[in-house]
């Protein structure tokens, strides 16, 4: 029987290695990489998980930041000015449009009538806040709110069921629900609900149980704070407070709902007002007129400009959060390099055998670099999958609790949006960094000689 000599075997092996690593189609270098990774399954899996978590945090923070910014920006459209009592512009925008915080003071109804009479003003929509229902804000307004309020790119509010409340006295105790309120409590047309005095999550001082409201409509989801609101007429707000004084019910006095209609329910004060102009050219002139109003101190703000001011205030926090995410990615890639370098000691014999079979230093470097890049790419893919999974799981909760709609304006419902240009740039930067990181173990193995792998170290 013919037996191959060691020299012949080495020649044949060297020829195979030369062909394998020489760049032929479907080169077995990929097979070598796969087998090497499979032999270190546990350390490789932990490394991929570390990279995936760091990438998920980086992309998740970027997505939350962009979605929060877009969600704020698309909340109000077509409104030229927001008017309220004298206060900071950001504070006025937050409590009047986003229903965050409380007003420092109210503005008088008479002042709103004077503003509405200005020749440049086309329409006004009053807003009255201060009551709630099981943690959700109640907005006192007029039926014009449903036709004048716009969000996103001039999108109107749409009723998913029922109708808007009628003007008083017919619609005195009618309420229209935002989509989140109706979904949370299972309310529908005909449901009777009780409003509470006081605003904020779970904060109420007393219920207006003697004057319940009837649900007449439910709004379709819009991705705005209106989804988490209950809309009633201004006269309805006045009606439930007829027998109240100083924020508390008058002892021994209770006026039945059927008798309330006999009172003058014209509001004395409101919280704020949305103002639309006939021409936006006059916006700064009208703003100046309102800011210098003689009857009482008022503030008029431009929603778009105030949003930019708001993002300027939170920009430092955004940058800090992004920096933390970037550092987490660096730590993940450092762990990848550490695992690869630490594994070189265990692979000295393997690398020496490859060198003995004809693999050159450059091919060893390419093999190690390919392994590191494969682990980084697997981590990036797993990180993206983790982001999509978390988005699908947490989107309903984030929308219900914080009004943050993931992928707002880009995908219907709770479906997560495809990676944006900025996210692709971040993923490309992570992969480029992993390529550079992969050179560290590669160059270290590049300097190994055959004798290094055959020497027994004690």
pLDDT tens track for 400-451:
565 566 655 444 444 456 777 888 888 888 888 887 877 776 666 655 544 4
Name the pLDDT band for 147 (thresholds 50, 70, 90): very high
Q: What are phi and psi of 125, to 5 degrees?
A: -130, 110
- What distance in Å separates the CA atoms of residue 253 and residue 236, rounded to the nearest whole number? 18
Write the pLDDT tens digit of every residue in 148-176: 999 887 889 999 999 999 987 888 999 99
Of the given ranges (89-93, 284-288, 357-361), which has the lowest mean pLDDT?
A: 357-361
Q: What are phi and psi of 275, to 5 degrees?
A: -125, 130
Measured in whole angstroms, the distance separating CA 377 from the mean position of its chain's CA atoms is: 26
Query: Residue 433: which H helix or E strand, with range?
Result: helix 421-446
Name, in order, each residue with C-beta under 8 angstroms of 5's C-beta and a sequence gap of 6 or more. Answer: none
pLDDT number for residue 348: 62
Name, in order, each residue with C-beta under 8 angstroms of 62's C-beta and a sequence gap of 6 or more. Answer: 322, 325, 422, 423, 426
Q: In the predicted model, is pLDDT for residue 27 greater than 60?
A: no
- Neighbouring C-alpha atoms within 13 Å toward the C-beta of 339: 24
pLDDT number for residue 274: 96
- What distance in Å separates the CA atoms of residue 274 and residue 259, rounded to the nearest whole number? 32
Write out the two tokens for 278: 């006939």
Q: In the predicted model, is pLDDT for residue 24 greater than 50?
A: no
Name, in order, each residue with C-beta under 8 angstroms of 52's C-beta and a sequence gap of 6 or more. Answer: 378, 379, 380, 382, 383, 386
Q: Which of 1, 21, 76, 50 is nearest to 330 (CA)?
A: 50
Write the pLDDT tens digit of every residue in 247-283: 677 777 778 888 888 888 999 999 999 999 999 899 9
Name, in order, each residue with C-beta under 8 angstroms of 325's C-beta and a sequence gap of 6 or more. Answer: 54, 57, 58, 61, 62
CA dihedral 276, 278, 281, 283 (to 10 degrees): -30
Q: In the predicted model, is pLDDT for residue 381 greater than 60?
A: yes
Tell me the mean pLDDT in the region 197-226: 81
pLDDT number for residue 3: 40
User: Above pLDDT 90, what percent of the chain?
Assistant: 31
Write the pLDDT tens digit of every residue in 229-241: 999 999 999 999 8
Write the pLDDT tens digit of every residue in 312-359: 777 777 778 778 888 888 887 787 777 766 666 666 666 666 665 666
Cβ contact 81:301 at 8 Å = yes
What angle do helix axes 421-446 and 361-402 make, rounded to 10 degrees?
A: 150
Return the CA Rg of the chain.
33
Q: In the predicted model, is pLDDT for residue 78 greater than 90?
A: no
- What distance in Å separates the CA atoms of residue 431 and residue 415, rounded to the nearest whole number? 26
- What distance in Å separates the CA atoms of residue 383 and residue 261, rounded to the nearest whole number? 61
Name the pTM for this structure.
0.68
pLDDT number for residue 448: 55
């Amino acid at each position: 029987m013919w037996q191959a000599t060691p020299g012949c075997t080495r020649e044949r092996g060297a020829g195979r290695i030369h062909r394998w690593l020489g760049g032929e189609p479907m080169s077995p270098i990929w097979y070598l990489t796969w087998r090497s990774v499979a032999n270190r399954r546990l350390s490789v899996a932990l490394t991929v998980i570390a990279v995936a978590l760091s990438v998920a945090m980086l992309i998740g923070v970027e997505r939350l930041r962009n979605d929060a910014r877009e969600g704020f920006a698309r909340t109000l459209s077509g409104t030229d000015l927001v008017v309220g009592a004298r206060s900071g512009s950001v504070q006025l925008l937050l409590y009047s449009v986003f229903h965050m915080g409380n007003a420092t003071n109210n503005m008088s109804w008479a002042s709103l009538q004077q503003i509405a009479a200005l020749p440049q003003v086309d329409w006004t929509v009053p807003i009255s806040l201060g009551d709630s229902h099981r943690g959700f804000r109640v907005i006192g307004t007029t039926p014009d709110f449903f036709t004048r309020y716009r969000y996103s790119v001039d999108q109107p509010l749409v009723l998913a069921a029922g109708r808007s409340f009628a003007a008083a006295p017919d619609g005195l105790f009618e309420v229209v629900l935002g989509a989140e309120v109706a979904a949370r409590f299972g309310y529908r047309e005909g449901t009777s609900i009780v409003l509470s005095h006081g605003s904020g999550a779970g904060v109420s001082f007393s219920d207006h149980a003697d004057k319940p409201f009837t649900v007449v409509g439910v709004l379709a989801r819009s991705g705005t704070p209106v989804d988490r609101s209950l809309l009633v007429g201004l006269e309805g707000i006045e009606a439930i407070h007829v027998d109240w004084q100083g924020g508390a019910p008058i002892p021994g006095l209770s006026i039945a709902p059927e008798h309330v209609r006999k009172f003058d329910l014209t509001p004395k004060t409101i919280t704020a007002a949305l103002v639309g102009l006939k021409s936006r050219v006059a916006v700064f002139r009208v703003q100046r007129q309102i800011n210098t109003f003689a009857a009482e101190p008022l503030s008029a703000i431009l929603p778009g400009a105030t949003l930019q001011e708001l993002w300027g205030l939170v920009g430092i926090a955004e940058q800090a959060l992004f920096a933390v995410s970037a550092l987490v990615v660096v730590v993940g890639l450092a762990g990848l390099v550490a695992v690869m370098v630490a594994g070189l000691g265990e692979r000295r014999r393997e690398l020496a055998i490859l060198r003995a079979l004809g693999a050159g230093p450059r091919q060893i470097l390419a093999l190690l670099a390919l392994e590191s890049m494969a682990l980084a790419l697997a981590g990036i893919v797993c990180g993206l999958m983790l982001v999509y999974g978390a988005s699908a799981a947490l989107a309903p909760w984030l929308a219900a609790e914080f009004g943050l709609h993931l992928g707002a304006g880009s995908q219907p419902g709770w479906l997560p949006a495809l990676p944006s240009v900025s996210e692709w740039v971040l993923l490309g930067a992570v992969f480029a960094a992993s390529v550079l990181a992969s050179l560290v173990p590669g160059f270290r193995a590049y300097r190994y000689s055959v004798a290094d792998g055959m020497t027994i170290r004690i």
